[in-house]
Chains A and B, each alone.
Chain A
Amino acid sequence: MTMMIRMYIHKYFGSLHVLKGVSLEVTKGEIVAIIGPSGSGKSTLLRCMNQLERIDQGFIEIEGIVVEAAGDIDVKITATSQEVRATYRKMGMVFQSFNLFPHMTALGNVMEAPISVNKVTKAAAVQIAEKQLAKVGLLDKKDAFPSKLSGGQKQRVAIARALAMNPDIMLFDEPTSALDPELVGEVLSVIKKLAQEHMTMLIVTHEMGFAKEIADRVIFMDEGEILEDSVPKEFFENPRHPRIKTFLEKML
């Protein structure tokens, strides 16, 4: 099995130790749900992987290439900065707050990175963008600006935007937390579609049913540590840690 991600991370916000030596390995095609109470470091973990936060100690390896190494650690970055950038580009990210570019149409949002980062022609970018919008079921909204879209539609455009860069790994940071309950389903079904295509995914979520259904592994984080890392069936039916039991009881 190809290793997609290996990492070991310490992260501080000031004097607050938010990630206390979190180790994680993810193989190709694996779908990992990361759950846990707020403030447990789930989002920070995801954000560290994509360089939105810098790690204080540890390393991050993506597809065999060390992209980040910090502090007292044996791992070194051997790749050129160009290779490192190219490797980061293999990860797409979807945010809780969508972060669509408000001054661009849905199509423009999806076209932007292929044009400015991958330097494809405009015509090629239109093709890519239309294909991805069709995939999330929003081709008919391609000319709409984000302000005219519902939350669920916005998030689906955001997913299309990330997919347009042809990522090997998708990071989802609470993709449905900002949505009205009736809009959650459409976003989850797009993610399920990606799961059927064996996209490697890390999903921070509060949707327990979804995690149970889609994930190959469930990781439970609390106070900056991974308390449990197991298959969904075992996790939900027979959690080892008492803190997980309390958490699950509160969620259900």
Chain B
Amino acid sequence: MMDHMEYILNILPFILSGLKLTAKIYVATLVIALPLGLLAAIGKVSGSQFIKKVLFLYTWIWRGTPLLLQLFFMFYGLPVIGIRLSPFAAATITYALNYGAYLTEIFRGGIESIDKGQYEAAKALGMSYAQTMRRIIIPQTVRRVLPTTCSEAVNLVKDTALLAVLGMPDLLRIATQIFTRDFNITPFVVAFVLYLIISSVLVKLFGKLEKMYSIYE
């Protein structure tokens, strides 16, 4: 038992270094994907025909193909045509565009679920379309899409594990390396627990957010 604890404490620094990369890419992805999804959703609802077409292509392609294939394309495809990105940039861009596409559709559905009487009341008060979106529609949309956004945020934690396939030293990759080195299953258990903790913290966090936004219900 003592040996076991000592082993875990031994490998933990390595695993946590993997967790750090996972966390970095995770946060960077959300920082880009959330505003991207919101803007693209507004574009889909109220943009010109041209913007709507471009956004249709965007969500169609990024939601309609496997994330792993998208990552392969960014990592191995782009260099072929002369574009070289750092692994971190390539990964972040791919995750952000992929999750941005899903969030676009989630936010669009949210915006479209707001009663049209809200637009009419705002218009009758003399508010511009932009004011109506910013002050009336989007705040209500945020409340409605929180639960779905939460499950996307949890999905992203698990999807970052694909980085291991690309050879990036993320949480899973490091755990795998230790497993191969020591032929011991413990690093996987540690990774398992860490993923579970992160997901649970996220769910808690979103639950708090939901409660905060629910005061008016």
Contact = CB atoms under 8 A, between A and B. Distances in A.
B135 interface: yes
Contacts of A113: 125-127
Given A52-B120, A99-B120, A147-B217, A116 B131 contact: yes
Interface stretch (B27-35, B70-78, B136-144, B191-199): B136-144
A162 B120 CA distance: 12
A101 to B, nearest CB: 6
A99 B121 CA distance: 6
Interface string A160-184: 0110010000000000000000000
B117 interface: yes
B124 interface: yes
A162 B124 contact: yes
A113 B115 CA distance: 19
Contact of A52 (B115, B124, B127, B215): B124
A93 interface: yes
A93 B124 contact: yes
A68 B216 CA distance: 38
A141 to B, nearest CB: 14
B139 A103 contact: yes
Interface in B2-34: none
Contacts of B143: 103
Contacts, number: 64
B155 interface: no
B123 interface: yes
B86 to A, nearest CB: 42
Interface in B202-217: 215-217
Nearest to A90: B126
Contacts of A146: 216
A9 to B, nearest CB: 18
A50 B124 contact: yes
Interface residues of A, number: 28
Interface string A82-97: 0001001101110101
A102 interface: yes
B200 interface: no
Interface centre among B120, B124, B131, B217 (most CB of A within 10 A): B124
A152 B126 CA distance: 24
Nearest to A145: B216
Given A97-B117, A117-B131, A147-B216, A102 B125 contact: no
A101 B139 CA distance: 10
Interface centre among B115, B120, B215 (most CB of A within 10 A): B120
A178 to B, nearest CB: 11
Given A147-B216, A147-B217, A99 B125 contact: no
A68 to B, nearest CB: 14
Interface string B96-139: 00000000000000000001011011011111000100011001
Question: Top 3 closest A-B pairs, CB basis?
Answer: A99-B121, A113-B125, A99-B117
22 contacts: A50-B124, A51-B123, A89-B126, A92-B125, A93-B124, A95-B117, A95-B121, A99-B115, A99-B121, A102-B216, A103-B143, A112-B125, A113-B125, A116-B127, A116-B135, A117-B126, A117-B127, A117-B131, A146-B216, A162-B124, A162-B125, A165-B125
Interface of A: 50-52, 85, 88-89, 91-93, 95, 97, 99-104, 112-113, 116-117, 145-147, 158, 161-162, 165
